[in-house]
Amino acid sequence: MDTVLKIILQRLALGIVTLLIVSVVIFIAVNMLPGDFAQAILGQGATEESVAAIRRDLGLDQPLVTRYFGWLAGVVQGDFGSSFASANAASFSGTTSGTTTVAQQIAPRFGNTMFLAAVTAAFAVPLAVGLGILAALYRNSVFDRATNIFTLTSISSPEFFLAYVLILFLAVLNPIFPSLSNIYDGMAFGERLNKSMLPALVLTLVVTAHMMRMTRAAIINLLASPYIEMARLKGMSPMRVIVKHALPNALAPIINVVALNLAYLITGVVVVEVVFVYPGIGQLFVDSVKTRDIPVVQACCMIFAAAYILLNLTADIMSILSNPRLRHPK
Q: What is the pLDDT of residues 234-272, one digit of tens each?
A: 888 888 888 887 888 787 788 888 888 888 888 878 889
Residues 6+ apart with CB under 8 A from 11: 313, 316, 317
Asked if 229 and 256 count as a contact pair (C-beta separation under 8 A), the reply is no
Q: Where are the domains of the chain?
A: 118-290
**pTM (2 decimals)?**
0.84
pLDDT, position 219: 87
Q: How many percent of the chain have pLDDT more than 90?
A: 20
Dist CA 192 CA 184 (whole Å): 8
Q: Which residue type occupies 181?
A: S
pLDDT, position 92: 46
In CATH terms, the fold of domain 118-290 is: MetI-like fold (1.10.3720)
Instruction: Write the pLDDT tens digit of every residue in 286-315.
Output: 888 887 788 888 899 999 999 888 888 888
pLDDT, position 197: 93
Instruction: Write the pLDDT tens digit of every residue in 148-169.
Output: 888 888 888 888 899 999 999 9
Asked if 213 and 151 count as a contact pair (C-beta separation under 8 A), the reply is yes
pLDDT, position 93: 47
pLDDT, position 39: 67
3-state SS assignment for residue 205: helix
Residues 6+ apart with CB under 8 A from 312: 15, 259, 260, 263
**Of 178, 173, 204, which Cα lies nearest the Cα of 276?**
178
Distances (CA, A) of 177 to 158, 194, 198, 200, 204: 21, 7, 7, 11, 16
Instruction: Write the pLDDT tens digit of every residue in 183-193.
Output: 888 888 999 99
Please tell me what DSSP assigns to residue 62.
S
Instruction: Write the pLDDT tens digit of every residue in 67-77.
Output: 888 888 888 88
pLDDT band at 328 (very low <50, low <70, confident <90, very high): low
pLDDT, position 46: 66
**Of 74, 78, 19, 23, which Cα lies nearest the Cα of 311?**
19
More confident residue, 228 or 124: 124
pLDDT, position 142: 92
Dist CA 104 CA 110 (whole Å): 10
pLDDT, position 252: 78
Asked if 242 and 251 count as a contact pair (C-beta separation under 8 A), the reply is no
pLDDT band at 33 (very low <50, low <70, confident <90, very high): confident
| Positive or negative torsion for Cα 295, 301, 304, 308 | negative
Question: What does pLDDT average to over the chain?
Answer: 83
